[in-house]
Amino acid sequence: MKKDTRMPTNYNPILTLQKHLGLSSAEIAEKLGITEEEYLLSVLDPPSSLIKTLSSVFGVNKQYLVDGVGPMFSTCTLPVSDILAFRDERNWKQFHTPKDLSISLSLEAAELLECFQWSGSDVEAKSKHARMEEELADILIYSVLFADAIGVDIPTIIHNKLKKNGEKYAVDKAYGNAKKYTEFSETD
């Protein structure tokens, strides 16, 4: 794939999506049913019709395309079977005890934290974004392996935890508030 030299270098959710998909501007345009020129002109100030089409064709979250926030894709599934197959092909399950996996999770979280060490006022450590992606992937992989080791279903435990957190952090008390739920007063 040839590098598209006409792309702006500033952050743009649509261009980030394009990079993630590994498609050229011409390939994206073809899938959208427009010319490459139309695509390139619309990327900098996308009309709602482009946002709607991108969302529909690629399953992209509209809020991500408009504001650059939230998950990129509307639905996101962890490749649990791929992770477990990778482990099983190497006969590593024998080493994946809850103790060792929890240690590995902690170490990977520390490696993610290391990306921010000495970053000073750069609280996003933008120059280390690629490394952050790799460390986060390691954390998620070890999380899947840990869930398998203790025999729990990830969507179920997340759903249960969100329900519990919803009770602790009622919207009327927690909205825009960084306090821990134990710090809420009756008047919050």
Q: What is the pLDDT of residues 13-57, one digit of tens each?
A: 898 888 888 889 999 999 888 999 999 999 888 999 899 888 888
Structural domain of 42: 13-67
Q: What is the mean pLDDT of residues 178-186?
A: 87
Residue 170 inside a domain? The answer is no
CATH number of the domain to which 41 belongs: 1.10.260
Q: What is the pLDDT of residues 116-143, one digit of tens each?
A: 999 888 898 889 999 999 999 999 999 9
Look at 110 and 7; give whichever has higher pLDDT.
110
- Co-location of 97 and 50 in the same domain: no
Q: Say whether both 105 and 56 belong to one domain.
A: no
Domain count of the fold of the chain: 2
Interatomic CA distance for residues 100 and 146, integer angstroms = 9
Contacts (Cβ under 8 Å, ≥6 apart) of 76: none
The span from the CA of 153 to the CA of 36, in Å, is: 44
Number of H helices, E strands in the chain: 10, 0
CA-CA distances (angstroms) from residue 3 to 18, 181, 182?
Answer: 12, 49, 52
- Is 162 contained in some domain? no
Q: Label residue 179 left, alpha or beta by phi (over 0 means left) and psi (-120 to 50 means alpha).
A: beta
The count of other CB atoms within 10 Å of the CB of residue 8 is 10
Tell me whether residue 116 is in a domain.
Answer: yes
Give pTM, 2 decimals.
Answer: 0.62
Q: Which CATH number goes with the domain that contains 132?
A: 1.10.287.1080
